[in-house]
A and B are shown apart, each in its own frame.
Chain A
Amino acid sequence: GAVVSQHPSWVICKSGTSVKIECRSLDFQATTMFWYRQFPKQSLMLMATSNEGSKATYEQGVEKDKFLINHASLTLSTLTVTSAHPEDSSFYICSARDLGGGKQYFGPGTRLTVT
Chain B
Amino acid sequence: AQSVTQLGSHVSVSEGALVLLRCNYSSSVPPYLFWYVQYPNQGLQLLLKYTTGATLVKGINGFEAEFKKSETSFHLTKPSAHMSDAAEYFCAVREGQAGTALIFGKGTTLSVSS
| A interface residues with partner B (beta carbon < 8 Å) | 6, 32, 34, 36, 42-46, 49, 93, 95, 97, 102-104, 106-109, 111
Q: Which of B42, B90, B99 has the most CB of A within 10 A?
A: B99
| B interface residues with partner A (beta carbon < 8 Å) | 36, 41-44, 46, 90, 98-99, 101-107
Is B44 within 8 A of A43, CB to CB?
Answer: no
Is B104 within 8 A of A43, CB to CB?
Answer: yes
Interface residues of A, dominant DSSP: strand
The residue that A42 contacts in the complex, of B46, B98, B102, B106, with Cβ under 8 A, is B106
Is A44 within 8 A of B104, CB to CB?
Answer: yes
Is A34 within 8 A of B101, CB to CB?
Answer: yes
Assuming A106-B43, A111-B41, is B98 touching A46 (CB within 8 A)? no
Q: What's the nearest-Cβ distance from chain A to residue B90, in Å?
A: 6
Is A104 within 8 A of B98, CB to CB?
Answer: yes
